[in-house]
Amino acid sequence: LNRGVFPAGCKNCQSEEAQGLQSLRIKRKDIFKAAAGELVDLELFVGSLCNMKCRMCDPNHSSLWSRELGEPMNSGYDPVAFFEKIDLHNLQHLRLLGGETLINKDFFRILDHVDRQSRSSQITLSFATNGSREIDDKIKSYLLKFKSVEVDFSIDGTGALAEYIRPGVAWSKIEANISGWVDFKKQTTLPMNLNVHTTIQSLNAHAIFDIVDFCIKHRLSWSHRVLTEPNELSWLRLPISVREEICRMNNSALDKNRVQEFFASRNHMSLFKILTQSFPGLEIKDSKELISYLEFWDSRWKTSWRSVMPSFWQHSFCQSAALEG
Ligand code: SF4
């Protein structure tokens, strides 16, 4: 990267930067200033064990996707053995990703290792979870050893749309679990940031404000990234006519709630523009691939995009694309 060459594992940041978006690499670059050779910020993949099969995920990150496609589970390296070789002396921030981190025993084995090095109280622990695991006493006792904790709940919709995009766990369970995390944050003196992270894609561009409402209701912060892979689900697959319809819906939703204020106060205005303007110059011509993709997986999983996205289905483009498919 110092020579301007992106390794294969960095293609998401490369793709986001090519589209003029602010990649994770850029966002984090200025947070931690380290002397040469000092490891202050570490992000580690703990494994692909997962209890969900999100539509935009893949076998590298989800064991349920591996099973779906008849591929072996991604167990390319032992995260604990890797971690044990690392000098933690200067570490300030540790971020663990999965899979579903909280159902993976290696997540807790890594935290045990940090604890044995007596480093936990100096480190901010950060991790992503799909919200499927309730916060119990075991999790609380692990978290309380750290200097502070940042949790990213991966949420791409609410209600039936959430279950459609991220199948595997009922939305009611996820909402109840997140309430449990919010209650813990209120009770503890541990500095905690509870954040909802959303992948903006063709399936949820019309429902982002529902997620924002959810964040406002539970006093959660919110972050997002615009999906680039798989490109069948990219927001840019939506034809201009559908995007215009989404913009109309989003603009009318603005009158009913506080989302505009929320976006402005949290520096999300560039996304706000995506959701309220249709950007006619940016159109991928083969947008019917989106409908073919949905139809293919709906028939395999016995789901129905028409029932969870009725406003899409009513759109003439979607009906004609489905009939042609
Ligand atoms: S919860 Fe995360 S790792 Fe699991 S399938 Fe969904 S996106 Fe992939």
pLDDT confidence of 56, banded at 50, 70, 90? very high
Residue 202 Cβ contacting ligand 1 at under 6 Å: no
Residue 59 Cβ contacting ligand 1 at under 6 Å: no
For residue 237, which amino acid is it? R
Residue nearest to atom 6 of ligand 1 (CA): 54
Q: Does residue 45 carry a pLDDT above 60?
A: yes
- CA of residue 57 to ligand 1 center, whole Å: 6
- CA of residue 248 to ligand 1 center, whole Å: 31
Count of Cβ atoms closer than 10 Å to residue 233 Cβ = 21
SS3 category, 148: strand
Name residues whose C-beta falls within 8 Å of residue 49's C-beta, 6 or more positions apart in sequence: 63, 73, 98, 99, 100, 103, 104
Residue 10: HSE in the Cβ half-sphere, 13 Å Cα cutoff: 13
Q: Does residue 124 carry a pLDDT above 60?
A: yes
Token couple for 274:
């995506």
Taking the C-alpha atoms of residue 236 and residue 211, their distance in angstroms, rounded to an integer, is 20
Mean pLDDT (whole number) for 96-121: 93
Residue 49 Cβ contacting ligand 1 at under 6 Å: no
Rg (CA), the chain: 20
pLDDT confidence of 57, banded at 50, 70, 90? very high
Residue 54 Cβ contacting ligand 1 at under 6 Å: yes
User: What separation in angstroms does the CA of 34 have from each of 40, 92, 150, 187?
Assistant: 7, 10, 21, 34
Residue 154 Cβ contacting ligand 1 at under 6 Å: yes
Mean pLDDT (whole number) for 197-203: 91
pLDDT confidence of 83, banded at 50, 70, 90? confident
Mean pLDDT (whole number) for 279-287: 57
Nearest to 262 by CA among 184, 199, 196, 204: 196
The single-letter DSSP state of residue 235 is: G
Residue 174 Cβ contacting ligand 1 at under 6 Å: no
Mean pLDDT (whole number) for 297-325: 78
Taking the C-alpha atoms of residue 167 and residue 62, their distance in angstroms, rounded to an integer, is 12
Residue 99 Cβ contacting ligand 1 at under 6 Å: yes
pLDDT of residue 68: 94
For residue 90, which amino acid is it? N
Average pLDDT along the chain: 84
Q: What is the pTM of this model?
A: 0.86
Residue nearest to atom 3 of ligand 1 (CA): 99
Q: Does residue 70 carry a pLDDT above 70?
A: yes
pLDDT of residue 186: 96
Name residues whose C-beta falls within 8 Å of residue 268's C-beta, 6 or more positions apart in sequence: 222, 224, 262
Name residues whose C-beta falls within 8 Å of residue 15's C-beta, 6 or more positions apart in sequence: 228, 229
Mean pLDDT (whole number) for 91-116: 94
Q: Looking up tokens 């991604």, which residue turns up?
A: 74
Higher pLDDT, 72 or 262: 72
Taking the C-alpha atoms of residue 287 and residue 283, their distance in angstroms, rounded to an integer, is 8
